[in-house]
Amino acid sequence: MKDPTELILRRETHSSRARPAIVAAIVISLLAIYGLLESMLRVLGQPPWLIDPLTAAQRIADLPNGISAMLLGVIGAAIFLVGLIFFCNGVLPGRRARHVVPDPRVAAVVDDGVVASALARRARTAAGVTREQVVVVVSARAVQVNVRPTSGISLDETRIQGAVEDEIARMGLDPSPTVTVQLSTMGVIGV
Amino acid sequence: MNGTNRSANRILLSLFGLIFMGVGGFLVALAAVPAVGSWWQGWAKPFSDDLVQLAARTQLGSGGSWIWIVVAAVLLALVICMVGWISNQGKGRASTLASYAGSADDDGASGAVSISCAVAEQALKNALMERPDLLSVSVTSFDFRGQTGIRVRVFPRQGVAPHAVARHISGLVESLDQLLGVQTPVLVSIGSGARARFTKAERVR
């Protein structure tokens, strides 16, 4: 058996698909409950609510007739889209926006938002600008640092890059992202 | 970290997705291609006629046919399966962290020691609440593959270095290990919530 820490980390960095599963279960339950209602009405000899199951079967059997082709196509496309959403949720890996921080004792995961705000703080102190002038975007394998300098003060791009890379090295993120620093050509005034 | 059966989720979602895609694609084909329409009518007509005859033959006294009872039973079973599927999501909370049964010839007294999860949860929570750079802390215990695991979810303020938080919690967990004498798997999850986004960053440390 694998190390429990590894299993936990794998589970924490991937979506459990609990929400789409619940949605799918509710959709299928509602369809089944409607069928249940109509067939029970039939058993009890009551008039059908929307359509009698036998009539429905006959209507389905001679389908392109009895309904406009346009409406049929739209209904089909809608059902196909719902199926596609379920299928993609089942098949795609579903990575969550999280990184793993190595630690000898505990299994630690960090949301990308926390990484971004920590990197923004470091970039801001390295560049000597205010909070509003730095925007950091973190994805699985890339970190983009956008800095808008104060008008009239030139900034050293390599210094900011070095500071952010140093911070990432200290975090030891897995997967390790690459850093790009983008200095805006337009400065801001009045900060 | 919980007992949700993820592979079952994915298999069932893919299966239902394929069924829906098949039905939807077929309806589009029926609407768009006349040849498919005539083939479908020729293929499905005998079945629906058979169904009508079967329903007529199996007529019960009250006007219904028993095949509808069978259909209803199958649909009811489907609904029960779906409710079971939903209730399997997110299960697996644990209440006992560790238990140890002593015996008379081992340490002189027969009896059992069991440590509740609340011990570890409250110890960790109290220790972490003292840090001013963490906005909120929640500690829960889960049953994970036959052993109890602890999940620590913390929401730090903006700009706090996550590795420092992780190292601090790791140190706390190590002292908890020594205190309790058992090592349990621990997950530390450092998140950013709406509250972290709207409160001020820590200026002074």
Give residue-wise pLDDT tens across range A89-102: 998 888 888 899 88
Q: How confident is the model at residue A1 (pLDDT cuts 50, 70, 90)?
A: very low
pLDDT in tens, A37-79: 988 888 887 888 888 887 888 888 877 777 888 888 999 999 9
- Cα–Cα distance between A42 and B59 in angstroms, integer? 11
Q: B62 and B14 in one domain? A: yes
Q: B165 and B75 in one domain? A: no
Q: B10 and B103 in one domain? A: no
Closest chain B C-alpha to A152 CA, distance in angstroms: 26
Q: What is the pLDDT of residue B173?
A: 92
pLDDT at residue B4 tops 80: no
Kindly give the interhelix angle for B34-57 and A53-61, rounded to the nearest 10 degrees.
150
Last residue of a domain, one of B22, B56, B87: B87
Cβ(B151)–Cβ(A107) below 8 Å: no
Closest by Cβ to A107, choosing from B12, B31, B187: B187
Please name the residue that has the structure tokens 């069928």: A35
Mean residue pLDDT across chain B: 84
Q: What is the pLDDT of residue B47?
A: 83
Weakest mean pLDDT among A25-34, A135-144, A162-171, B93-102:
B93-102
**What average pLDDT does range B132-139 have in this prediction?**
88
Q: B81 and B22 in one domain? A: yes
pLDDT at residue B15 tops 90: yes
Examine residue B204 and state whether it is found in any structural domain, yes or no. Answer: no
Q: What is the pLDDT of residue A29?
A: 94
pLDDT at residue B200 tops 70: no
Last residue of a domain, one of B46, B62, B87: B87
Q: How confident is the model at residue B205 (pLDDT cuts 50, 70, 90)?
A: very low
Q: Do B85 and A21 touch (CB under 8 A)?
A: yes
Closest by Cβ to B28, choosing from A54, A73, A91: A73
Per cent of chain B over pLDDT 70 is 89
Q: Do A106 and B30 touch (CB under 8 A)?
A: no
Mean residue pLDDT across chain A: 87
Search chain A and give the residue with CA nearest B60: A43
User: Hey, what are B193's tokens?
Assistant: 């919530």
- Cα–Cα distance between B158 and B162 in angstroms, integer? 10
A21, burial (CB in 10 Å: exposed 0-12, middle 13-18, buried 19+)? buried
pLDDT at residue B1 tops 60: no
Closest by Cβ to A79, choosing from B20, B30, B190: B20
Smallest Cα–Cα separation from A143: which of A184, A95, A178? A178
Smallest Cα–Cα separation from A151: which of A190, A179, A118, A120? A190
Q: How confident is the model at residue B183 (pLDDT cuts 50, 70, 90)?
A: confident
Q: What is the pLDDT of residue A152?
A: 85
Q: What is the pLDDT of residue B204?
A: 47
Question: For residues B155-180, b (16+ Cβ closer than 10 Å) or e, as one string?
Answer: bbbbbbbbbebbbbbbebbeebeeee
Closest chain A C-alpha to B98 CA, distance in angstroms: 17
Q: What is the CATH number of the domain that holds B162?
A: 3.30.300.30
Task: Report the DSSP pairing between strands A98-101 and A107-111.
Answer: antiparallel
Residues 6+ apart with CB under 8 A from A77: B24, B28
Closest by Cβ to B170, choosing from A65, A81, A105: A105
Q: Do A32 and B64 touch (CB under 8 A)?
A: no
pLDDT at residue B60 tops 70: no
Q: B101 and B153 in one domain? A: yes
Q: B106 and B83 in one domain? A: no
Tell me which of B69, B71, B91 to substitute to probe the interface with A (most A C-beta atoms closer than 10 Å).
B71
- In which domain, by residue range, is B13 found? 6-87
Q: What is the pLDDT of residue B7?
A: 86
Q: B139 and B113 in one domain? A: yes
Search chain A and give the residue with CA nearest B184: A106
Search chain B and give the residue with CA nearest A65: B37
Q: B110 and B74 in one domain? A: no
Q: How confident is the model at residue B144 (pLDDT cuts 50, 70, 90)?
A: confident
pLDDT in tens, B148-169: 888 899 998 888 889 999 999 9
Please name the residue that has the structure tokens 């950013």: B192
pLDDT at residue B46 tops 60: yes
Residues of B in contact with A39 (CB under 8 A): 68-69, 71-72, 75
pLDDT in tens, A77-93: 999 999 999 999 998 88
What's the distance, CA B80 to chain centroid?
18
Q: What is the pLDDT of residue B199?
A: 63
Tell me which of B163, B167, B168, B173 to substitute to probe the interface with A (most A C-beta atoms closer than 10 Å).
B163
For residue B113, what are the β-bridge partners?
Answer: B100
Q: What is the pLDDT of residue B39?
A: 86
Q: Do B190 and A108 touch (CB under 8 A)?
A: yes
ipTM: 0.78
Count of other CB atoms within 10 angstroms of residue A106: 22
Residues of B in contact with A82 (CB under 8 A): 20, 24
Tell me which of B5, B28, B183 to substitute to probe the interface with A (most A C-beta atoms closer than 10 Å).
B28
Search chain B and give the residue with CA nearest A23: B86
- Cα–Cα distance between A156 and A127 in angstroms, integer? 7
Tell me which of B2, B4, B5, B10 to substitute to probe the interface with A (most A C-beta atoms closer than 10 Å).
B10
Q: Do A25 and B9 touch (CB under 8 A)?
A: no
Cβ(B164)–Cβ(B123) below 8 Å: no
Class of domain A98-183: alpha beta
Q: How confident is the model at residue B13 (pLDDT cuts 50, 70, 90)?
A: very high
Last residue of a domain, one of B87, B113, B135: B87
DSSP B61: T
Residues of A in contact with B143 (CB under 8 A): none
Residues of B in contact with A8 (CB under 8 A): 1, 144, 149, 185, 187
Q: What is the pLDDT of residue A23?
A: 92
Per cent of chain B over pLDDT 90 is 23
Q: B100 and B191 in one domain? A: yes
Closest chain B C-alpha to A84 CA, distance in angstroms: 6
Compute chain A's Rg from CA coordinates. Answer: 28
Examine residue B203 and state whether it is found in any structural domain, yes or no. Answer: no
**What average pLDDT does range A117-136 have in this prediction?**
89
Q: How confident is the model at residue B50 (pLDDT cuts 50, 70, 90)?
A: confident
- Cα–Cα distance between A115 and B159 in angstroms, integer? 8
The number of folded domains in chain B is 2
Which residue ranges make up each domain of chain A?
A: 4-91, 98-183
